[in-house]
Amino acid sequence: MDNQVRVNPVLSATIVRGGRIAAHVDNNPATRRAALRALPAVLRQRFDAQAAGDLNAVVELRVSASEGGPEARFRLEIADGELHVTRTSAPEAQAWLSASLGDMIRIVSGNEGLWELLSQKRLDFGGEPFTALRMPAVLRL
């Protein structure tokens, strides 16, 4: 897999289960950097190849800026039942998702639902509707 990074298991568990402390992670520069480094591994763990099916797409994940640091962008390439995540922008993306790091952690941890955040205007998505609307199932959000 591309972008292999050793992720501290405690940090990974914090991201997966730690929705309650998400705002603190987002607003502290050191914990924000660590969480952003862990995000690709967490997304790969959540990837559902069966839900992806024959989807071949590039999606850009935009993590908004906060007191803890500048905006971060991730390129998610879904092809042949696999997910490759790199920390770079994806101008060729068919779709994009955007939220704060704290809200990304809340979604992944299951503490808040993707559609709930969307209705509260704390998450946004766009691009090709078919691709964008498949992301919640593909990433088990």
Residue ranges of domains in the chain, CATH in brackets? 9-138 (3.30.1050.10)
Residues 40-53: tens digit of each pLDDT: 998 999 999 999 99
pTM: 0.82
- Cα separation, 138 vs 53, in Å, equals 9
Q: Is 84 exposed, middle or buried (0-12, 13-18, 19+ CB in 10 A)?
A: middle
pLDDT-based confidence at residue 105 (cuts at 50, 70, 90): confident
